Every structure is written in C-alpha cells, then in structure tokens.
Structure 1
Amino acid sequence: MDPFFDQIREAHVAIRPQVAVTPLAPSPVLSKLLGCDVSLKLDFLQPTGSFKIRGATNKVRTLDDDARRRGVLTASTGNHGMAVARAGALAGAPVTVYVGNDALQMKIDGIKALGAEVVVIDGPAGDAELAARRAGEKQGRTYISPYNDPAVMAGQGTIGIEIAEQDSDLDAVFIAVGAGGLMGGAGTALHALRPGIEVVGVWPQASLCMLRALEAGEIVPTQEYPTLSDGTLGAIEPGSITFPVCQKAIDTRIVVEEGEIAAAMKRIAETERWMIEGAAGVAFAGLVQQAERYRGRKVAVVLCGRNIALDLFLRTVS
C-alpha cells in the first residue's frame, strides 16, 4: 500500500469531529440533462465553506504544544486562510494569514472573523507565500503551506476516502486543479480504494500551472490571468510534493473557459439551488464539456467551495 495513502487514512479518522463527512448527493435533474448518472460531493457545506478545512485541521493536529503556543502563519487567497484560522482557534494556536492585494474582501473578513490576524502584501498570492515563509523563519512559528505539506495534502485526501465509501460504483470523479493539494490527496485515495476509477482533473484556462508542469515533466513558470476560479490561483513552489503525486493521480485532463465556468455555476444554481464559487464551477464545467463521453456512466463532481461575494455571483449568473 502507498505510504501516503496510509497518512490519508489516518487523517480520515483523526480530523473528526472538527471536519464533517459531507454528502455525495445524486442529482436526478443533472443526470437527465447530461445523460449520465451524476452525483455532487457537497464539500462547500464544511464549516468554513470549502474543502480547505480538511488539510488545515490535519496539519494543526500534528503540531506539538510548543508549536501551538508560538502560533502558525500561512498564505492564502482566502479559503485556506479561513480554514487555518478555524483550526488554530480550536487548537488554541494564534494564526496570522498573509494574503495578496487581489484577495477578495469577503474572504479577508471571513479570516478575521475567525480570530486570525491578516497581513496584506503589495503583490499577488505567490508573494504572500514567500513573505509568510520568511516571517515564520524569523519568528520561529510554523508555516502552513496551502498545499506543499504532506499533512495538508493528506487531510485534503480524506474527501477521496469519503467518496469511495459513499459510492463504490463510480466510473469517474471530476476535481478542479490548483496547486495539487486536493487533487493529489483525493486522487491517491480514490485509486487506492477503487482501482480502475477515472480521476479527471479540470483547469480554468486562465490558470494552468499544474497542467503545464505535467506537460513539461517539471514545474515551470506559468503566466496566470484573472479568473472566476480564484481558489485555484497561485504558482506551484519549486520542488512541491504535490507535483509527483498529481503525475500519478490524474488520469484525464480538461481545460474550461471562463464562460463555461460561469454557465456551470448558473446551472448548479438553477437545478440544485446552490450558490457555488468558481473553483467548484470549474469541476462541473469539465463534466458539462465532456458529457457525451460519459453518457450512461456514473460520475461524481467535487463542489469544493461556496465562498464567493454575492455581487460577483449575481453578475456571473445574470
């Protein structure tokens, strides 16, 4: 058995009850529309509104008492920051979150509401990561990467165990890909528990960092652009542990345009009455784009988050 899967399996037990087992909900309406048997993994129902709570909770639980007293730092576009803020609050660990100057205000407000200090960097998310790491080294505090940490990736992987346990007959699972923490963890768990399942990675055209790395066989500099899928933005650190894991985990690669993401978010709102964020829309857009290929098959889509400003959501689906 893959030793990394052993870490995911340990996390699957250890993060309860702070992290919920979210529903895998069949969608008769979408199944009829798309011609395949569709279920939705509703991970936006987590307490902080996204899957990120899984990895953050698992990482914080591994810290010793001294590390918790000194506190932790992280960098985030929003969801990971809220997750670390909550995990730290529950564990009694002070939290500081570094964000780029393009972070959504509603996510900054969410981080602060959970008790964390926020430091805004005059630059993008990648600069915030570097600043947080430097501060951690200077202050002797633990830096919690949004993805480049085995405990974080193992925590994200627990969603794969849940999906495998909730439906043993799935043919394929669609997951949005950012820096690879969710995809690497979930894909590893799904392949370990359901050999033969197809793990489908979906990217927004505006942010293809992991895809370009997979194509090149190494992590390469990749230009990113504004996207509805802000949760998948952010360059991959050189040497990131997520890269080799994603090389094994992803079976199929799909790229979607911004219009497809918006249409997917609108379709979910119309049919399921859920307001989801762009990263969740990416995964569903991938299924919509390739629905003919999966006709008659049983598929699941990971809806990974709901943290989107109301005005942006309304503009997106109008």
Structure 2
Amino acid sequence: MTQTLFERIEEAHRAIRPQVAVTPLSHSPMLSEVTGCDVYLKCEHLQHTGSFKFRGATNKVRLLDEVTRRKGLLSVSTGNHGQGVALAGKLAGVAVTVYAAKSTSPIKLDAIRALGAELVTIDDTPLAVEIEARRQAKLKGMAFVAPYNDIDVIAGQGTIGVELHEQARAAGIELAAIFASVGGGGLISGIGTAIQQLSPATAVVGCWPANSTALYSSLKAGKIIEVDETETISDGTAGGIEPDSMTFGIGQKVIAHSDLVSEEEIKAAMKLLAQTDRWMVEGAAGVALASLLKLAPEYQRKAVAVVLCGRNIMLKKFIEAVK
C-alpha cells in the first residue's frame, strides 16, 4: 500500500539516525522580550553541513538500491542542498555530482568540493540549471536528488516538524505558530505536513523574501507561474520552481499564513539574532525571524518557533548585511 507523506516522514524520523542530528529547540529570552512572544529557535543551523538540507538528502540516499548507488548520484543546488547530498553520499560511499549556478555563494561551492563531490557550474539562472541537471541525470542514467520536488527529500525535511512537536510537548509548550522560510517549498511542505497531523492548532507560517516569490506568487495565482526575481540576501530560497513541483499542491494544504519581508527587514533580523543569541545565520534563516518580528503583534504572550534553517554565509557578506 502506498505510504502517505506523513507516514514517510514518520519512517524517516526513525531511520535517518544517527547520521542526522536532533537539533535543539532553544528558548530565546531576549527575542521574547523584544517581540512580546515566547520565542523558541529550532536550530537547524547546527545540523551537519550547517543546514536542514542534510535531512532530506540522507533520507533520499538511504532509500536508493545498490544498482542505483553504483551509478552515482546527480543533484543541483544553490549551495546547502549540494552540501547535504555530498555528505550523505560520502557517508554511504556513493559518488556525487552537483550542478550549480555560477552565482552561487563561493563558500557553499567550496564546501561542496571539500565534501568530495564533483562540481559543475553553469552561468544561468538556478531554475535553468535545475532543468539541465535533471536532463543530464536522465542522459547518464543516474539518480537525480532534487532539492525540493521529491517526496523522499520532503519527508526528510519533515522530520524537523516531528522533532519540534516532540521537543515542545516534552517541555509542556503549546506552539501557536511555526515560522519557516520558503524557496522551492520542500522545507515547509515537510514541516507543515507533520505539524498538521501532530499539532493541528499550530499555524505554519510561510516566509518569503519580497525579492524572490516564486512559490508565493504561484500559490496566490492558483497555478505555477514564472516570476521575475531580483537579488536577495536569502540566496538559499532564490530561484523559480519546476512546472510540476509537488510542493505547490502540498503548500496549498499546509501553509496557514504567508508573509513577505524586505531585504532591510531580513538584514535587521540577522543583526538582531547575532545580538540577542550570538548566532550568525544566513539570509534564509533571517527571513523566518523577520516575519516573526513583523507579525509579533498577532502572537502576543503566545509560544512561537522560528526555524533557523542554515548558517552558510560568507563572513564578509554577513558583516556587510548587519552594518
């Protein structure tokens, strides 16, 4: 019988240990004071490779048969997913090739190489690179590990939602909302599916940089559309989505509220987090916190969680952002 996405998430939650770490759900007294909410930080920036992406990659690799593994894996990434696949492949003894746009953060590209993956860069948009990577995987007969449009990858990301629920319940916390940044939608599709089953009273808030709204605009339009994008410090959420992306349908079901934040709001959130909790995070993590700061009046005296999805940002870029 075909498993539901939630059943896949539950299985992944049990199966991806010990490779994947259980990240802390950390209370932030200072952010709580600033916002008037009871703020908890889901510290995915402390995950292996510095990002939640290692979860989905690990889950995908564990499900591949031996014949597929021998042929190697091919993936595409704006950085974090590539690192996740590279490490998951390395731990499983599987060769990995990662395609990336030349505009990808150099520190992320260096990290992919350091983890032993072969890196192919293309001077084009992230979506165009993604389409080409899929084409190459098909031509070469290699398994393609998609960054978001893959049920097993989404299930891996959904383990964050299960962890959040378990950690909150153990601490006697009733979360009113969970804030998560959105790019292709794999993270929020997984978290949202888990939370909808385990804690239906908890709202899942999708958070986007106003400069990069592919899935947001598609959800508003009721169909997947192309959207003009401008540069954003949230490079981890940048780029369009595939025309057949399953995250569109899942997102329609699980995202309770959507929010857009400006570049100034993202950078201010990154700076505030460095001041209050001494965490240096990347732009995509700043997006989720920026949305909480903006929407805090709606959650006064309520417990909320912010998913800090990654930390992979160049020091120079971070310093310039928080000046």
1:209 equivalent in alignment to 2:210:
no
Q: Return the offset for 1:209.
A: 0.6
Partner of 2:321: 316
1:235 equivalent in alignment to 2:235:
no
Deviations 1:71-107 (A, max 9, x none): 0001100000000000000111100000012111111
Deviations 1:139-189 (A, max 9, x none): 110011100000000000000000011113111100001111000000110
Partner of 1:200: 205
Q: Return the offset for 1:63.
A: 0.4
1:278 equivalent in alignment to 2:279:
no
Determine if contact 1:179/1:235 at 8 Å carries over to the other structure. yes
User: How far apart are the structure 2 equivalents of 1:231 and 1:268?
Assistant: 18
Determine if contact 1:174/1:284 at 8 Å carries over to the other structure. yes
User: How far apart are the structure 1 equivalents of 2:152 and 2:25?
Assistant: 24
Q: Return the offset for 1:46.
A: 0.8
Deviations 1:254-297 (A, max 9, x none): 11000000000000000100000000000000000111111111
Q: Return the offset for 1:134.
A: 1.4
User: How far apart are the structure 2 equivalents of 1:182 and 1:113?
Assistant: 25
Q: Return the offset for 1:231.
A: 0.3
Partner of 2:122: 121
* SS of equivalent to 2:42: strand
Determine if contact 1:183/1:246 at 8 Å carries over to the other structure. yes
Partner of 1:153: 154
Aligned length: 317
Segments ≥4 residues shifted beyond 2 Å: none
Determine if contact 1:121/1:127 at 8 Å carries over to the other structure. no
Determine if contact 1:69/1:92 at 8 Å carries over to the other structure. no
Deviates further, 216-225 or 275-284? 216-225
Partner of 1:269: 274
Determine if contact 1:184/1:249 at 8 Å carries over to the other structure. yes
User: How far apart are the structure 1 equivalents of 2:267 and 2:261?
Assistant: 10
Deviations 1:187-224 (A, max 9, x none): 11011000111111110000101111111111011111
Q: Return the offset for 1:229.
A: 0.4
User: Unaligned stretches of 5+ in structure 2?
Assistant: none
Aligned amino acid, residue 133 of structure 2? A
User: How far apart are the structure 1 equivalents of 2:86 and 2:200?
Assistant: 36
Partner of 1:22: 23
User: Unaligned stretches of 5+ in structure 1?
Assistant: none
User: How far apart are the structure 2 equivalents of 1:253 and 1:137?
Assistant: 35
Cα RMSD of the aligned pairs, angstroms, is 0.8
Partner of 1:104: 105
Partner of 1:259: 264
Q: Percent identity?
A: 54
Partner of 1:176: 181
Partner of 2:71: 70
> TM-score, normalization: structure 2?
0.97
Aligned amino acid, residue 290 of structure 2? A
Aligned amino acid, residue 98 of structure 1? Y
User: How far apart are the structure 1 equivalents of 2:93 and 2:71?
Assistant: 10
Partner of 2:50: 49
Q: Return the offset for 1:133.
A: 1.0
User: How far apart are the structure 2 equivalents of 1:284 and 1:137?
Assistant: 39
* SS of equivalent to 2:48: coil
User: How far apart are the structure 1 equivalents of 2:296 and 2:202?
Assistant: 17
Aligned amino acid, residue 271 of structure 1? T
User: How far apart are the structure 2 equivalents of 1:19 and 1:42?
Assistant: 13
User: How far apart are the structure 2 equivalents of 1:170 and 1:287?
Assistant: 13
User: How far apart are the structure 2 equivalents of 1:49 and 1:93?
Assistant: 21
